[in-house]
């Protein structure tokens, strides 16, 4: 199981930088090819839809979001709250990042993100995390073995 930050989904959906989009596309292809389940905190739903409706028609955004949601395993925010609080307290991480880190920590999963600060906070807390944009080959090696 793997926790994937919203930033990687945004890199997949919107091409602001070809290299980022290509890495995200390859990454999700490897996950699918190896049948590695994705786990997200429930707050991912809110974060993703908020990003989508800023950039596309609301009906299209909802359709895109629901397609992703149907392929993802979710863990409740209430289950993650205490761990997220501890993570924020120990690392000074942003609240939203703490929920992703908590999901990885509680479920003994790795975290992959296009957000360097989030990865640094995860590592500071002892969670195995990878910054996709600079550690792409390490991520491919890690999940290719799973």
| The predicted structure's pLDDT at residue 144 | 79
Question: What is the extent of the structural domain holding 119?
Answer: 2-144
**CA-based diameter of the chain, in Å?**
40
Task: List residues bridging with 112 in a β-sheet.
Answer: 4, 130
74-105 pLDDT per residue, tens:
999 899 999 999 999 999 999 999 999 999 99
129-131 vs 2-4, strand pairing mode = unpaired
Domain tally for the chain?
1
| The predicted structure's pLDDT at residue 145 | 59
Angle between helical axes of 18-33 and 6-13 (0-180°, round to 10): 110
| The predicted structure's pLDDT at residue 47 | 97
31-79 pLDDT per residue, tens:
999 999 999 999 999 999 999 999 999 999 999 999 999 999 999 989 9
CATH of the domain at 60: 3.40.50.1010
């Amino acid at each position: 199981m793997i926790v994937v930050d919203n930033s990687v989904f945004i890199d997949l959906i919107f091409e602001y930088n070809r290299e980022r989009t290509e890495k995200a596309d390859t990454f999700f292809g490897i996950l699918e090819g190896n049948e590695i389940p994705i786990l997200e905190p429930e707050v991912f739903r809110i974060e993703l839809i908020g990003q989508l409706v800023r950039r596309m028609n609301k009906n299209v955004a909802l359709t895109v979001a629901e397609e992703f949601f149907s392929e993802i395993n979710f863990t409740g925010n209430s289950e993650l709250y205490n761990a997220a609080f501890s993570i924020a307290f120990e690392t000074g991480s942003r609240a939203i990042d703490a929920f992703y880190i908590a999901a990885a920590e509680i479920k003994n999963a790795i975290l992959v993100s296009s957000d360097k600060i989030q990865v640094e906070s995860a590592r500071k807390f002892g969670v195995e995390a990878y910054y996709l944009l600079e550690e792409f080959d390490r991520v491919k090696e890690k999940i290719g073995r799973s």
